[in-house]
Amino acid sequence: MKEKWIHIAVVITGIVLTVLIYLFLAKSFYNGITMFDEPGDYIEGNRFKVFQVIDFGVTLASGERKNREGDYSLFLGPVVLFVNNDGRLYYDDEIIEIPLGKRARQIGIYKYETERGYKTVPVVSILE
């Protein structure tokens, strides 16, 4: 009987440790993100090009800018961090198009380090 309780205690301890380690890793992975209490400003543009996928549903993308004649697009606009809580997976060089009736809206800021120092960009989500 005593061995049964020891076995149960070991299993429960393993589950608790696994959850704590996961929470620690998840928290440290998203260091640099500060979320707002309320959604902030709308972000101009309706097309963004992914240039770095950070995690499932989290990606850095640059906004679209058209040339003066409007015949081709350059994705040299503002850099944003897209956060998608709907389970959508992003991939490199993907074009994210904002659906009609929705807009990209700032929900926080993300600070990260590059070879040239630190950058701070808006965290955005596609909202109505």
Does one domain contain both 27 and 68?
Answer: no
* Domain with 106 in it: 33-127
Same domain, 11 and 73: no
Looking at the fold, whether 114 and 83 belong to one and the same domain comes out as yes
pLDDT (tens digit per residue) in 1-35: 778 888 787 878 877 766 655 555 444 445 788 99
For every residue of 42-97, DSSP letters joined together read: BPS-SEEEEEEEEETTEEEEEE-EE-TTSSSEE--S-EEEEE--S-PPP-TTPEEE
pLDDT at 84: 80
116 & 67 share domain = yes
| Structural domains in the chain (count) | 2
Query: Is 19 found in the same domain as 78?
Result: no
Same domain, 23 and 75: no
14 shares its domain with 53: no
Q: What is the pTM of this model?
A: 0.69
